[in-house]
Amino acid sequence: MENLLTRWGRTLDRTCPLPEYPRPQMRRSSFLNLNGEWNYAICDKNAGFSGFQGKIVVPFSPESILSGVQKIVTPNDILYYQKTFEFHRTKSRVLLHFGAVDYACKVTLNGKAVGSHRGGYLPFTFDVTDMIADGKNDLRLSVTDPTDTGCQARGKQSFSRGGIWYTPQSGIWQTVWLEEVCENYIKSIRLTPDIDAGTLTLEIHYSGSTIPNASAAVLDHGQVKGIYEITKGHGVIPLENYHLWSPEDPYLYDLRITAGEDEIDSYFAMRKFSIGKGSQGVSRIMLNNRPYFMNGLLDQGYWSDGMYTAPSDDALIYDIQTMKELGFNTLRKHIKIEPLRWYYHCDRLGMIVWQDMISGGDKYNFFAIGILPLASLLFHNKHIGRVNDSHRKFYARSNKAGIREFYKDSAKMIDLLYNVPSLALWTPLNEGWGQFDSTKVCAFYRKKDPTRLIDHASGWVDHGGGDINSFHIYFTSFAFPKFSKSDNRPVGLTEYGGYSIRTQGHVFNTQKTFGYRIYKTQKDFDAAIKNLFEKRIYKAMTQQGLSAAIYTEVSDVEDELNGLLTYDREVLKVSPKVMKAANGKLKL
């Protein structure tokens, strides 16, 4: 296997990587970044801690190149971290934030227990007011990660990596930071735009039981449009002559909220995602009450040197901006939750987001997730091979604790990303991987967030729920049978393509190539892309009611050479001229 560094990884500042403020929609002036070099050790659980073994660059997982470690953490190990830092308090309370730690961790500060957390993809916070010292402080973590030996959300991580399954990663993989706040501070906000009513609903949740007087100032490119009172943590802000957000015009408003002694800066956009009828009565996905073809790519968010963690903020921007310049308007964030800055860049650059929940469950049954669903595609019948997903053991969801954790993680994910303007659609379950009770899961998501679309069981085992008639088609002709005669859901080709070409010097696995169709020359690859988009997708959009298409994928990932970019982001494998021309035709 080759060690592939990105251009950003080659210039990494090990003392303070990813220095940017990590929470763009809830900004305060207080911010102390704790990224950089920490002490680490990987010890057998039975042997116990035997001393630190060297330095690790946080927030890169120990399995990654940029961590400086490149060791795999097994289920029999405990990963230890230690960081010494200086701190001098200026406000009442101090919060310690972790962007994400995979999977279970315990935290101490100056020898005192701070708390614990389970779940590898979501941020969490501890109030460390009573533990932190004025001066030198000692922060420690112990982390365990079962990866694919457990039933927790783990995505594509596997100890048997290869093909579509990847090297596992563990531990801290997003920014660690400190924040000072007043005694009763704004804990979270909830922003709901309504373009039909011309309003923005603002809900404020506080850390204490007292609800202070609050106000919200709406700013348009620095100019105050109005200041509005927020009573008892709730307000409906009227907006006249507002500017709509779209990928073609990603217009954002700033929002400054003042509550008692606390003040935060945020932003929002006016937009709406819905389902409606297009020409000739065809069901379509709608943006701002008009039919809109969502032309996107699968985006797995893996990096050749940082794995789950992008080597820099500019690297995040590069992927989004490059795909937009090629003519795409949507990214399906596949089986991963990104740091909040990624969503911020999609908001400001104008890239629609489809968000997957992280897959989990027991060891998958290949007959359930492979053979039977493939039969339904080959015979163009959604009922062939469909086994009711209430049979949880069949779909590797027999563990009740894992199901409870799925719902808990889903709720946290929805709350975390609810305010993201570019986020259009939730995908709770993908290709039968740990699928269960999909229509009930869909109802849970709908109740938590009635403002967005849902692809309840992407691609494989459809039970007629959600908003999208969803297909994954790589090898056969495009045919989109309905679930039933009454199925009026718009058609989404939620995975397709996967065309591969090997780019020497920029591949992870020099021996193996994984791809759905493999091409040897640039000429053949470009011709295949041109034919796929300009003929097959265009025909499906104009003649078969196709309303969205998600091509596999943004970049290569380990053995997979399906990307338009190489794994190290050094080579754009498709001709920009060919890609732009093809995408230019895919508009309703």
Q: What is the pLDDT of residues 239-251, one digit of tens each?
A: 999 999 999 999 9
Q: How confident is the model at residue 280 (pLDDT cuts 50, 70, 90)?
A: confident
Helix/strand/coil for 10: helix
pLDDT at 379 over 70: no
Phi, psi at residue 522, to the nearest 5°? -60, -40
pLDDT at 384 over 90: no
For residue 467, give the nearest of 424, 520, 525 by alpha carbon: 424
Q: Which residues are registered as beta bridge partners of 44?
A: 77
pLDDT at 385 over 70: no
| pLDDT recorded at residue 272 | 98
Write the CB contacts of 553 (distance below 8 Å, at least 6 apart in sequence): 297, 298, 299, 300, 334, 497, 498, 560, 562, 563, 564
d(CA 51, CA 42): 9
| pLDDT recorded at residue 217 | 98
Residues 51-73 have pLDDT tens digits of: 999 999 999 999 999 999 999 99
Q: 3-state SS of the chain: helix, strand, coil percent to 5?
A: 20, 35, 50
d(CA 36, CA 29): 21
Alpha carbons within 13 angstroms on the beta-carbon side of residue 129 total: 10
Q: Using a pLDDT cut of 70, give the percent of the chain over it.
A: 97
Does the model's pTM come out above 0.95?
yes
Q: How confident is the model at residue 365 (pLDDT cuts 50, 70, 90)?
A: confident
| pLDDT recorded at residue 133 | 97
Residues 114-139 have pLDDT tens digits of: 999 999 999 999 999 999 999 999 99
d(CA 487, CA 508): 43
d(CA 385, CA 387): 6
Q: State how beta strands 171-172 and 101-102 pair.
A: antiparallel
- What token pair was written down for 252? 């954002």
Q: How confident is the model at residue 370 (pLDDT cuts 50, 70, 90)?
A: confident
pLDDT at 378 over 80: no
| pLDDT recorded at residue 111 | 97
Tell me the residue ranges of DSSP E strands in 99-166: 101-102, 104-109, 112-118, 124-127, 135-144
> At 538, which amino acid appears?
Y
- Contact yes or no for 137/127 (Cβ under 8 A): no
The CA distances from residue 154 to 76, 157, 180, 357, 466, in Å, are 17, 6, 32, 10, 24
| pLDDT recorded at residue 373 | 66
pLDDT at 377 over 70: no
Q: How confident is the model at residue 368 (pLDDT cuts 50, 70, 90)?
A: confident
pLDDT at 26 over 70: yes
Residues 181-217 have pLDDT tens digits of: 999 999 999 999 999 999 999 999 999 988 898 999 9
- Of 28-37, 326-335, 459-468, which gets the smallest average pLDDT? 459-468
Mean pLDDT confidence for 228-234: 95
When the pLDDT of each residue in the chain is averaged and rounded to a whole number, the result is 95
Phi, psi at residue 135, to the nearest 5°? 130, -130
Instruction: Beginning with the edge strand found earlier in the chain, give each strand of the sheet holding 176-181 in spatial order.
Output: 32-33, 176-181, 93-98, 124-127
